[in-house]
Amino acid sequence: MRTPRLTLVLAAAALTLAACGEPGSAGGGSAPETGATGDGGGVVCEPVAGEELVVLEDDQRLQTVDNVIPAVNADAAQPALISALDAVSAVLTTGDLIALNKQVDVERETSRQAAQAFYEQAGVEVPDTSGSGRVVVGAGNFAEAATLAELYALALTDAGYEVEVRTIGNRETYEPALTSGELTVVPEYAGTLTEYLNKQVNGPDATDDAPLASADLQETVTNLTTLGEQVGLVFGAPAEAADQNAYAVTTAFAEEHDVSTLSELAEACDGGVSLGGPVECPDRPFCQPGLEQTYGLTITEFVSLDAGGPLTKQAVTGGDVALGMVFSSDAALAES
């Protein structure tokens, strides 16, 4: 899949953590200076402040795929409906998703306005216009989901359906509504939904004992399809667009150490780096443990901040931590 270059530009006035309060730290103390020798004898890379962030490529595929995928009530699935949803998936990239989120979150357009402009610009072509009847597109209670739902609604309208878009809370609320038929389709995320259904079908410990989502998109969607059959769901084609965990440094840091991937980071900073992220990061397999086990990266200090939010981004740009966990479709990652 094509990977867009993800950069973040922040105003200099927003680069201090003081205005947001003092974050907690699981590691305590301050990070060693660049060039210092870590406990293992390698070079510890200190944070480098800067106005831009760049996401380092997950070249060893630590993260589970979370491509956008339409989830459909099996009883309501028709060829015209699926082909309309697939027409949206065919054109939607992660770069597009970032731009759409920026329009809504930063530029304050409505999800409908942003979706309509993108739909026309992308030239979405719906191949089957034989659809008829009423469909309800559900959306989670966050802007990205609402925009995706509006995109689906535009394609379904072109396919011949009478469409309603309905915001209906979180996954625990909208998934039962989808399986019951109250909703017809919901924009979902392949890896997250796979493990959600894995718990439903195989028990609450299934995601730890036998995870069915992985960094392999085809394998994950195959497992998702099998799980869906057991709960009354079918799925359209996944989009290239994805929203998953990502790890960022400042462009100044990346240039100083000549790194663009997490593997290069581990090699250049073999004594370790400091990491900022959500409080659960030290215990989550796709966060600190994954960075340590998959990449051999040493975390010299963990600073408890937020999940891809302003505290984490400000800590990295302000030079408080070298590496921060962000989300790959964050509106702030749109190029200026």
Alpha carbons 156 and 88: distance in angstroms, whole number = 10
> Are 88 and 227 members of one domain?
yes
Q: With 90 as the cut, is the pLDDT of residue 335 above it?
A: no
From the list 64, 65, 66, the residue with the least C-alpha distance to 286 is: 64
Same domain, 148 and 276: no
- The residue segments making up the domain with residue 176 are 68-235
Query: Any idea how long the chain is?
Result: 336
Does residue 249 share a domain with residue 231? Answer: no
Count of the separate structural domains present in the chain: 2
Residues 133 and 268 in one domain: no
In this structure, the answer to whether residues 93 and 150 fall within a common structural domain is yes
The total of other beta-carbon atoms located within 10 Å of residue 304's CB is 18
Crossing angle of helices 111-122 and 143-158, rounded to 10°: 50
315 lies in a domain?
yes
CATH at residue 123: 3.10.105
Element (H, E) at 162: strand 162-167
- Kindly state the average pLDDT of the residues 12-37: 36
What's CA 172's distance to the chain center, in Å? 19
Task: Report the alpha-carbon distance of residue 203 to residue 225 in Å, rounded.
Answer: 18
Q: Which two tokens stand for residue 171?
A: 């996954």
Residue 302 CA: distances (Å) to CA of 31, 130, 275: 9, 55, 5
Give φ, ψ of 72 to 5 degrees.
Answer: -125, 140
Reported as type and span, the H/E element at residue 43 is strand 43-44
The dihedral region occupied by 256, where left means phi > 0, alpha psi between -120 and 50, and beta the remainder, is alpha
Q: What's the pLDDT at 37?
A: 52
pLDDT digits (tens, 9 = 90+) for 69-87: 999 999 999 999 999 999 9
- Check whether residue 213 and residue 155 sit in a common domain: yes
CB atoms inside a 10 Å sphere around CB 172:
8
Contact 299, 288 (CB under 8 A): yes
Q: How would residue 41 be classed by pLDDT, with cut points 50, 70 and 90?
A: low
pLDDT band at 30 (very low <50, low <70, confident <90, very high): very low
Q: Is residue 313 part of a domain?
A: yes
pLDDT at 19 over 50: no
For residue 74, what is the DSSP state?
A: G
Look at residues 253, 254, 247 and name the one whose alpha carbon lies nearest to residue 278.
247
Whether 200 and 322 share a structural domain: no
**Residue 319 backbone class (left: φ over 0; alpha: ψ -120 to 50; beta: rest):** left
Residue 57's identity, in one-letter code, is E
Contact (CB, 8 A) for 301 and 307: no
Q: Write down which residue in 194, 211, 235 finishes a domain.
A: 235
Pair (252, 220) in one structural domain: no
Question: Phi, psi (5° rounding) for residue 97?
Answer: -65, -40
Structure confidence at residue 39 as a pLDDT band (50, 70, 90): low
* Token code pair at residue 5: 């270059």
Specify the DSSP element, H or E, that contains 235.
Answer: strand 233-235
- Express each pLDDT in 76-123 by its tens digit: 999 999 999 999 999 999 999 999 999 999 899 999 999 999 999 999
Give me the CATH number covering residue 250. 3.40.190.120
Tokens of 58: 């997950």
pTM of the model: 0.79
157-175 residue pLDDT tens? 999 999 999 999 889 999 9
3-state secondary structure of 241: coil
Give the model confidence (pLDDT) of 188-245 as tens digits.
999 999 999 999 999 988 888 889 999 999 999 999 999 999 999 999 999 999 999 9
92 and 211 assigned to the same domain: yes
Q: Is residue 2 part of a domain?
A: no
Q: Which strand (E) or helix (H) includes residue 145?
A: helix 143-158
**Residues in contact with 15: Cβ distance below 8 Å, sequence separation at least 6, in sequence order:** 49, 51, 314, 317, 318
